[in-house]
A and B are shown apart, each in its own frame.
Chain A
Amino acid sequence: MAGTEAAGRLLNLIIALTDSGARMTRERIRATVEGYDTVPAGASEDERRRLDAAFERKFERDKDDLRRLGIPLRTVVDPIHGDDIGYRIDAAAAALPPLDLSPAELAVVGIAADLWSDATLGEDARQALTKVASASDERPSERVVLSGTSSAVADAVAALVEAIELRREVRFGYTSAASGSSTRTVRPWRLVLRGGALYLQGHDVDRGEPRTFRLSRFHGTVRAVGDEGAFEIPAAMPAAFEEQEPGEALLAVRAEAGHALRARGAARGRDGEWDVIAVRYHHADQLRDEVLALAGAARVIEPLWLADEVRAHARGALEAVRG
């Protein structure tokens, strides 16, 4: 099995760096931790260079794997030999705290781990589930009448999380209703999940201000660009990111229609044949689409701009189909 060699070597590395208490230099790691190739006595200069380069590549990859596993390697600089970097693992900081999940909680966590249809996040989720299983006394309860799927662009999620962690800028193709399709360069700060949709919030480098991007409007791949540690994530997010106060719209709906709106809204009397209701909304475009979907069984009274948007959308569609 291909994973055997790497898994064994990484285990040896974890044991060595946790146990040493002090730091270990690269040279010492290479010489003593099982699984790394040392240079045999009498090797030619060429062979030595080749093996040195191979070790560097392998060690860099292992460091990356440990970070992906959740173990950040601490670099410790020797006070006497300042240029000689050592590594160690802080055991207490690296350990998973006890979780103490109930059987019902374990069952729903298991279902959540199956949510991502995409391979990348799916693997991350299953790895997380393995960790949950190793820190829980209980076993999942058997019967849960729930399942979930998501078609979220999870490759983008994985790339963004990685970039946030390393504080690297990202570049991606993006389509917005306002400015069409363009390439954006962003300092990624955090992901936000709202109503089943994922958003990226961060600093848009070209526009010079904080912006929110909906992941379903990304196209192409997300590429990390530039150096690690290129920016700081603000401790307090800008006010523009806060959930906006809900607005209130006044709608007129026909008798025996608009049931879902009625269920959420409050009656405000009548206007001729129409019932008037007040509905609170967080996202004006969602309410607009709901009114459009009712195909004339509802109209917007206030705000006037929302009424204009409803008209503009209906006119646009009408012009397109009449060509």
Chain B
Amino acid sequence: MAERALARLTRLLGIVSYLETHGEAPFDELAARFGTTPTQIEADVWLLFTTGKPGGMPDDYVDFDGDALDEGIARLRDGQGLTQVRFSAREAVALLGALSSLEASGAAPPAAASALTKLKTAVGDVAPVEVMGESRADPQVVAVVREGAESGRAVALEYVDAQDHRTERLIEPHRLVTIDGVGYVECWCHRAGDYRTLRLDRIMSAALTEDVVTHAPADHTGFSLAPRYEATVEAARAARWALESMPGASISETDQGILTTFPVADADWVAGRLLAIGPHLHSVAPAALADAVARRAADVLAAQDG
């Protein structure tokens, strides 16, 4: 598929702008800088050659040193005043939004916060996006886990899972990830004897050990729980947003509301999520999942009413 004109235009302006400051650069250096191939950079330079002021006199065109081009070097002679332009509103929201999301997850390194400050200044007031709130992850815990991942050393954790089981684990951290604004660490967990993705805000404490990481990072990311069966849930339309967020959910509209199916790997976890839309639930199948919901609902009521 042909590259979009705007993406190319942005790079063309970038090449001229960079060369205005640095004078010259080899094609392959520009290619690495702008995430493309040297061949593409060469085609970009030739396109720039043909652009210029109205009138079309020889001095009116963007110009490069021809001899340098033969050696694969872009040496700018005349940029005709072209320069990189400021961020558009959409670009600013796309980049600042993403960076803020990384930062708010608690998983990003300190450089995310300083980059955000610099970019916000550069963007000025064109970006109609505000960031509020902050991560519950403990920054000291995250710093230890990150140091483990960067230096290749194991970390000893105190972890509380979604079912409130408190465990001590030795993990080999490979990478911090954010998924929809929540921070996790991908690791090899010695306790489980398998790869795990642990939520950073559920790590109560972390200590760096002297043990060296021995397991290679998993070649897949995200969650590795195997689904055990397919759930079918009917609910009022008001519960749509909650059901949409179930991994692998497919949703259809019915006369009474919505019908959702999704794979269930952990019935207790799903049951907990379904309680949160309790007043909107119409039916839950299969019986194994309905039982899990009933059991947990009864436990909640028993606790609440003493």
Contacts and interface: CB of A to CB of B under 8 A. Distances in A.
B177 A33 contact: no
A104 B111 CA distance: 6
Interface in B28-64: 32-35, 43, 47-48, 50-56
B51 A146 contact: no
Among A102, A105, A143, A233, residue most surrounded by chain B Cβ atoms (within 10 Å): A105
Contact of A256 (B52, B166, B282): B166
B179 A162 contact: no
Contacts of A91: 81, 83
Interface in A267-319: 282, 285, 288-289, 291-300, 307, 310-318
Given A97-B122, A295-B272, A321-B290, A189 B300 contact: no
A238 B11 CA distance: 40
Interface string A55-92: 00000000001011111000000000000000000010
Given A314-B278, A318-B297, A320-B278, A147 B175 contact: yes
B91 A70 contact: yes
Contacts of B208: none
Interface string A252-266: 000011111001100
Interface in A121-139: 121-135, 137, 139
Contacts of B99: 108-109, 112
Contacts, number: 439
Given A150-B101, A191-B97, A192-B129, A299 B304 contact: yes
Among B104, B133, B202, residue most surrounded by chain A Cβ atoms (within 10 Å): B133
A322 interface: yes
Given A1-B2, A175-B240, A313-B278, A146 B175 contact: yes
Given A131-B14, A195-B104, A33 B85 contact: no
A190 B97 CA distance: 12
Contact of B272 (A116, A282, A293, A320): A293
B53 A19 contact: yes
A321 B293 contact: yes
Contacts of A189: 128
- Interface range on chain B: under 10, 10 to 19, 20 to 34, or 35 or more? 35 or more
A251 B111 CA distance: 38
Classify the interface of chain B: helix, strand, loop or mixed.
Answer: helix
A219 interface: yes
A14 B54 CA distance: 11
10 closest cross-chain pairs (CB), A and B: A196-B181, A296-B299, A134-B14, A32-B54, A316-B278, A320-B281, A317-B278, A313-B278, A2-B2, A70-B88
Given A69-B10, A193-B181, 7 more contacts: A15-B81, A122-B94, A145-B146, A146-B107, A193-B101, A289-B272, A295-B271
Interface of A: 1-4, 6-8, 10-12, 14-16, 18-19, 32-34, 65, 67-71, 91, 93-97, 99-102, 104-109, 111-113, 115-116, 121-135, 137, 139, 143-152, 157-158, 161-162, 164-165, 175-177, 180-181, 188-198, 214, 216-217, 219, 233, 243, 256-260, 263-264, 282, 285, 288-289, 291-300, 307, 310-318, 320-323
25 contacts: A3-B5, A4-B47, A7-B12, A11-B9, A12-B52, A15-B80, A15-B81, A34-B56, A124-B95, A127-B91, A128-B91, A128-B92, A134-B18, A139-B33, A143-B150, A175-B237, A191-B129, A193-B130, A257-B164, A299-B303, A300-B304, A316-B278, A318-B297, A320-B284, A321-B294
